[in-house]
Every structure is written in structure tokens, then in C-alpha cells.
Structure 1
Amino acid sequence: MKPSRIVYFIREAFRSLARNRLLSIATISTVAISILILGIAVLMTINAGSFMNRLESDVQIVAFLDKSLSSSELSEIQEEIESLEGVKSVRFVSQDEALKKLQKSYGTDYDLKDTIGKNPLPNTLDIKARDPHKVPTIARQVDKTYGVYKVNYGQGVVERLFNVTRWVRVISLGFIVLLAAGAVFLIATTIRLAIFSRRKEIYLMKLIGATNWFIRWPFFIEGIILAGLGGLLAIALLAAGYGSLINRMGTLVFITLVTDSALLLNIYLGLLGTAVILGILGTFISLNRFLDV
């Protein structure tokens, strides 16, 4: 493409923006609202995914060991379990350590050691899997290990948790896809109004022999500019709102929001790119109706 044509297309796009200020503002507002809603959905999905990942990563296996085992046998059992495929870490918890943990849950007002006398708690192994979804499989292998008389990993509850997290991810992805489709429709409808006001101009250009792509380029540039401005406005509002939410919820230890600056920057850049793509797509869909007549 010749540089002179590129300059012409850009000049025509800016002329159109200047002539149709109200429609340009309406398009920018529509894009901003669409991207803002989409951005909120993406942030909600990422935070929900992060929360689900934390829940899954907290799943661990507790292996209860026979009291009759010697120190060397305990070490051998720990090494054997550590060698199992998919095991990330194995931590030995002695009877005394288990009693101290239990004492902490009761506080200082109640002395468990004096009450129960001899420590009835067994030695245990806290086992973490590399992949939380492999916990049931590893638990069955651990249960067959010599010296282990019982295995607990929250049977039943864990399987339901994994099922819920899977459906949350699927539903979240479907929700984002629906919002993106809705954004395309809104943007295409708004841009179509702007193009409709210039339908006579498009018709005259076709009469004098202008190709479809010659007609399209100024509209595409206009769509990119409008969508880019709308995307930047949405990102500014989203970043300000999310930053304020992080500051307000910083003291709530039970709710942890995603604060990774690199991840958030990628999300915002992705939303800006999405806005531009939606603008191009909306322009293309809207133009076809007038270029095909």
C-alpha cells in the first residue's frame, strides 16, 4: 500500500471523527462499558480460579502410623512414601508435636497433658501431592504401605471439591465468551449507526469505482481509534476500581485478591487488544451490510 493512500485513509478517519462527534462519543462509551463489564468478569474469574487453586493446594493426605514402629522403621516408611510417583513432600509429625497443635486449638485455659495423661495421639505423616487431583490415587498407595494403619484426605469431600472447581472454571469461561459475543453485538450496532449516517457517501464512492477495501480502510482506522479510546477508558476505570478494592480488603486475611502486577498488566493489555479487535470486527460486520447492496 502506498504511503499517500495510508495518509489519505488516516485523514479521512479523523475527518469522520470530527464530523460525527456525538456518534463517536456514543461508540467510545459503548466500547468502554462493554470492555469494563468484560474486564470485571475476567478479574472475577481469575480471582475465583486463584481461590480454587489455593483450596486444591491445601488438600493433603494424613497417614496414621502404628505405635509399635521403631525410629528406623519410621524413617524407612517416610522414604518409601517420598519415592511414590506424584508425591511432592512428606513431613513427619510426632506424637508430641500433634499434642502441641491440639493444645493450641484449646488455648491456655485448658491443659490437655494433665487431663489425658499419656499421649494417645499417633505419629503421622503429612503428605502433599504435586497434582492435587492425584491425591485419591496416592492415598490408596499409601494405605497399602507397611506400618500405615489409616489414611485420611477428606474422602468424598475432596472429590466434590474438585468437581465444583471444574464446573466453576467451565461456567466462568462460558460467561466470558457470552460477554465477548455481547460486546461484539453492542459495538457492531453502535458502529452501524455511525456508518448508516454516511450510507450515501459510501454509495457514491461505489458509483465512481472505489473498491470495497478502499472504502473499508478509513472506517477500520476510525473503528480502531474509537475502540482503543473506549478500551483505555475502561482499563483506567477498572484499574482504579480494582486498586481501591485491593486497598480496602488488604486487612481481610480470609479473602486474598490477585495482586501480581505483571499478571494485571497482561490482563489490561489483553483487554485493550480485545477492544481493538472487537472494534475491527464490529466495523467489518457493519460495513458488509452497506457494501453488499
Structure 2
Amino acid sequence: MRAKYVMSEVFLGLWRNISMTVAMIITMAVSLTMLGAALLLYNQVDVIEEYYQTNLEVVIYLDRDVSEEMTTQIDSELKSHPLVEQVQFESQDQAWERFQETFEESPDLVASVDAEVLPPAFRIKMKDIDDAEELIGEFADREGVYQATNQKEILQQVFDILGGAQRLTLIIALVQGVAALMLVANTIQVAAYSRRREVAIMKLVGAPNWFVQAPFVMEAVFAGVIGALFAFGTLVAAKIFVIDGQFQNLFSLMPPVEWNSVLLLLPILAAIAAVISAVTAWITLRFNIRV
């Protein structure tokens, strides 16, 4: 009987303040969407770093007119070098094929590049990519070498951009979270005021605090969980239509965002929404419903 009464009061209270309930759900959904995106991005940055740490290479580009004898000598020295795990020579024709495969979605770019411009190169997998600078220092100024690059330095700029986006998303989520908390508190205050006579009668007949406060707390929790469901739906839609859909080619050079990471957000966001809403509502009620 008590549970039935509490639930009926919950839905009645939500309906009485429908406009504020909708506003609370929307605000909670926006803040949780940003938080979920930040958590997903945080995890994906770690996945990307781990993926590329095991696939990063040092690339030594040769002069286009380098002699076969010099190429053979550099190849021999690289293969016997103690810091090198694997060496792969890439001719101009192979470099052109790689370029075409990489930019197959941009035919205008491919058409504007002459195959003769691309130099032959050695692609070197290091035993430890952190030793790349030592190897580059030994070969960068060698005869026949045009340029030596460390892919880790190039990708570090990408990691820095992703890290900045990650921090920005967290900041926005925190700001939205504060707005959601204030809206939850305000909604509970309005609900408590509108039912002040009912609350007073229940207190006069000896109803315990938890029984009086339960409908208000459940209202906040219900709205918070609904907001979490909307946030999760938004993230799923982003995965389907953005990451795996319209901008699939943009993310093709990075490890995919796994569905397990997305699905894991549902219980996380629902739990965060429920706990924050319940705690905010309870603290608010402490100042509005007195024994």
C-alpha cells in the first residue's frame, strides 16, 4: 500500500510540474550526453595511443636519384642495427600505390600528384619507439637520405588535440551538470511548496521523514534516469550515423569505437543520474520539510 501511494505521488508530482520536469529531463540529458561523450573520448584516446604505439614507425625517405649501391648499404646497416626490429623497403611504385590507397576517397588529390614525386623509403619498426630519435640522428644526415621522420612526433599533435577536446567536453559537462543540479533543486522546492498542506497533514499524523520525502526523491530520480536514457540514445545515434556513417572515412585511420564501450555508458550514466538526483533532492528537502 505504501509503495503504491509513493508511486502514485511520484507520477502525480511529475504531471503537476510538467514544464519543469521536461526542462529537468532535457538539461540532464544534455549534461549526461556531454559527460558520456567525454568518457567515450577519454577511453578512445587511450585505445588510439595503445594502437599506434605498437604500429608507429620511423620512416627514412631517400633521394629520388639515390644509387642502388647506397640503398643496399643503408638497408644492411638498418637491418643489423640493435634498435631496429624490422625494416621494409618501399620503392617509388609501392609508395605511389600506398598513396592511392590512403587517399582513394579524394580522387582530385590523387590526380594532382605525380608518381615520380614520391621518394623511395625505408619503413622501420623499432624495438622501442622512444629510441627513434637516436636512430634518426644516425641516419638523417647520411648521403642518399632526404629526410627521416618519427611518426610518434606527428601523431603527438593529434593526441594533444584529442586531449584538448576531451578536457573541453568535461568542462562543458560539468557546467551543464551544475545547471542540472540547480534545476533539480528548484523543481523539488516548487513541488514541496505546492504540496505543503499535504506534507503538513502527513507530519501531523506521525508520518516518518522518509515516507514524506520519498515521492519527491523518486521524482528527481525518475527524471534523471529518463534524461540518462535520452543521453544514451543520443550517443548511440552518434555512433551509428556519425562515426560509422556519414564521417566513416574520417575515422578510418583510427581504431573503431567499439560497441562495448558505448553500451557500457548506459548503466554508468543511469547510475550517475540516479545518485546525483537523489542526493540533490534529499539535501533540498532537508531545508524544506522539517519535523
Name the residue aligned to 1:174.
171
Matched letter for residue 81 of structure 1: V
How big is the shift at 1:287?
Answer: 0.5
Tell me if 1:194 matches 2:191.
yes
Q: Is the 8 A contact 2:61 2:148 kept in 1?
A: yes
- Counterparts of 1:253-264 in structure 2 under 5 Å? 253-255=249-251, 260-264=258-262
1:222-233 correspondence to structure 2 within 5 Å: 222-233=219-230
Taking structure 2 as the reference length, the TM-score comes to: 0.67
Q: Percent identity?
A: 17
Cα gap change, 1:245/1:39 in structure 2, threshold over 3 Å: closer, same or farther?
A: farther
What is the Cα deviation at residue 218 of structure 1?
3.8
**205, 212, 216: which one aligns with 1:215:** 212
Contact 1:142–1:148 (8 Å) recurs in 2: no
The residue identity in structure 2 corresponding to 1:254 is: L
In 2, Cα distance between the equivalents of 1:290 and 1:25?
A: 21
For structure 2, the 5+ residue unaligned runs are: 63-69, 100-109
Q: How many residue pairs end up in the alignment?
A: 263
Residue 183 of structure 1: CA displacement? 1.5
Which residue of 272, 280, 283 maps to 2:278? Answer: 280
**Matches of residues 14-25 of structure 1 in structure 2 within 5 Å?**
14-20=7-13, 22-23=15-16, 25=18
> What's the CA shift string for 1:107-142, capped at 9, x where partnerless?
799674xxx9xxx96652333687xxxx5x422232
1:69 corresponding residue in structure 2: 73
Q: How far, CA to CA, are the matches of 1:42 and 1:21 in structure 2?
A: 25
Counterpart contact for 2:221–2:277, Cα < 8 Å: yes
Residue 46 of structure 1: how far off its partner (Å): 5.6
Q: Out of 147, 152, 155, which is 2:149 matched to?
A: 152
Q: Which residue of 2 aligns with 1:142?
A: 135
Whether contact under 8 Å (1:13, 1:218) holds in the other structure is yes
* Alpha-carbon separation, structure 2, partners of 1:155 and 1:54: 12
| RMSD of Structure 2 on Structure 1 (CA) | 4.3
The answer to whether the aligner puts 1:93 opposite 2:88 as a matched pair is yes
Q: Please report how far the alpha carbon of residue 31 of structure 1 lies from its aligned counterpart in structure 2 after TM superposition.
A: 3.9
Matched with 1:81 is: 84
- Pairwise CA distance, 1:259: 5.1
SS of residue in 2 equivalent to 1:170: helix
Question: Distance between the aligned counterparts of 1:267 and 1:46, measured in 2?
Answer: 8
Asked whether the equivalents of residues 20 and 194 of structure 1 are also in contact (C-alpha less than 8 Å), the reply is: yes
